[in-house]
Structure 1
Amino acid sequence: MAAKSTVEDAIKNNKVVVFSKSYCPYCKKAKALLDSLNAQFVALELDQIEEGSAMQAYLKEKNGQSSVPNIYVNQQHVGGCDDLHAAHRDGKLQKMLTA
């Protein structure tokens, strides 16, 4: 259950959390967008954390998404890379980041 509490603490204690894998091109693209917006975010690289696979399994249980990046803003599940970019295009992401 350490994985569950790590995930929940990360979501609760950070404005933006990206559950990521260091080699994933979609994760890199999502983090690059957040960087370009000067958004403060925490990226947890699941392939570099001992509990990473358990954390990913818990995220699937929590929000139904098994892939990375798995992104939360203001404790709200945004989705993956395409979802983040869509939220950026329609102005929703900027509102979430300034809320």
Structure 2
Amino acid sequence: MERIRYLASQKAAVIFTKSSCCMCHSIKALFYDLGASPAIHELDQDENGREMELALRGLGCNPTVPCVFIGGQFVGSTKDVISHHVDGSLKQLLINAKAIWF
């Protein structure tokens, strides 16, 4: 869990993903479309990926990927991110964390 918190705090927007996950690809594309350049951590390509995945599940991220942190704070998985995007708060979260500028 400490590694997750450390990685999540290193950049304004952080996404934990798996390289073969289509929803992960969609969330990354959404962030890029909004002008953010998130840190991407591919769990299936990290030697500690399985342990990190279990830690993400412990945070309540189910399914475990994609798992998004903005400003070091846990935002959630796909449905949470999409909900924030639909209600307009995702962009404001990214602005507040200085992941994008407007």
Task: Report the Cα distance in structure 2 between the residues aligned to 1:66 and 1:56, rounded to whole angstroms.
Answer: 10
Cα distance per residue 1:54-95 (max 9 Å; x no partner): 01111222x122421011111222111222122111111111
Residue 24 (1) aligns with residue 7 (2): no
TM-score normalised by length of structure 1: 0.88
Task: Report the Cα distance in structure 1 between the residues aligned to 2:44 and 2:62, rounded to whole angstroms.
Answer: 14
TM-score normalised by length of structure 2: 0.86
- 2:52 alignment partner, one of 55, 67, 74: 55
Report the 3-state secondary structure (helix = DSSP H, G, I; strand = E; otherwise coil) of the residue aligned with 2:9: helix
- Structure having the higher helix fraction is 1
Task: Report the Cα distance in structure 2 between the residues aligned to 1:58 and 1:88, rounded to whole angstroms.
Answer: 25
Unaligned runs of 5+ in 2: 97-102
Task: Report the Cα distance in structure 2 between the residues aligned to 1:11 and 1:57, rounded to whole angstroms.
Answer: 15
Query: How many residues are aligned here?
Result: 95
Report the aligned-residue RMSD: 1.2
Partner of 1:85: 82
Structure 1 residue ranges (4+ consecutive) displaced by more than 2 angstroms after TM superposition: none
Displacement after TM superposition at 1:18 (Å): 0.5
Identity of paired residues, percent? Answer: 33
